[in-house]
């Protein structure tokens, strides 16, 4: 049994400490907004926040994050009105949507660290998250909008 702090709540996960956080979130806690893409740290679909920083949850073992604040897309804002989520809607970013929760989580972490990022900073940071639909230009516009309106 491993105790985790997820979206502000303490939860017990009936899994071994070596279980990837992504598996615990999706299979044990049913927080399926965090997506499985590659499972090997290459795509970013599984991005969550660990103590406010964007991390690939498929590459994190639950036994290593018992003391960390874990935030998933479900916990980013109480009713979906985080500035990044509002900007995502305004710019109509998603296509198929599969990668988008990971993109939003990385964008939100970027803006909390750097509220007015340059375009190059946005491009560099977001290069960790792939989108097979190629929504990259709308992602950049949405982050710029969120930085202005946030």
Q: Cβ of 140: how many Cβ atoms within 10 Å?
A: 17
Which of 11, 69, 123, 133 is close enough to bind ligand FES by CB under 6 A?
A: 133
Count how many Cα atoms sit within 13 Å of the Cα of residue 135 in the half-sphere of its side chain: 22
Q: Which of residues 62-121 bind ligand FES (CB under 6 A)?
A: 94-100
Q: Does 142 bind ligand FES (CB under 6 A)?
A: no
Pick the closest to residue 59 from 114, 1, 128, 12 (CA basis).
Answer: 128
Q: Does 135 bind ligand FES (CB under 6 A)?
A: yes
Phi, psi for residue 6 in degrees, rounded to 5:
-120, 120
Q: Does 150 bind ligand FES (CB under 6 A)?
A: no
Per-residue x/- mask for ligand FES, residues 15 to 54, rule CB under 6 A? Answer: ---------------------xxxx-xxxxxx--------
Asked if 75 and 7 count as a contact pair (C-beta separation under 8 A), the reply is yes
Binding site for ligand FES (CB under 6 A): 36-39, 41-46, 56, 58, 94-100, 131-133, 135
């Amino acid at each position: 049994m491993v105790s985790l702090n997820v979206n502000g709540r303490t939860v017990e996960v009936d899994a071994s400490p070596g279980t990837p956080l992504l598996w615990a979130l999706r299979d044990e806690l049913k927080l399926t907004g965090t997506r499985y893409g590659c499972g090997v740290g290459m795509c970013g679909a599984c991005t969550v926040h660990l103590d406010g920083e964007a991390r690939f949850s498929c590459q994190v073992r639950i036994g290593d994050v018992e003391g960390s604040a874990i935030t998933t897309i479900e916990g980013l804002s109480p009713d979906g009105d985080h500035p990044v989520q509002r900007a995502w809607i305004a710019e109509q970013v998603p296509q198929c949507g599969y990668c988008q929760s990971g993109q939003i989580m990385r964008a939100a972490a970027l803006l909390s660290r750097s509220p007015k990022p340059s375009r190059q900073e946005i491009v560099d940071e977001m290069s960790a998250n792939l989108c097979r639909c190629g929504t990259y230009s709308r992602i950049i516009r949405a982050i710029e909008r969120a930085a202005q309106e946030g």
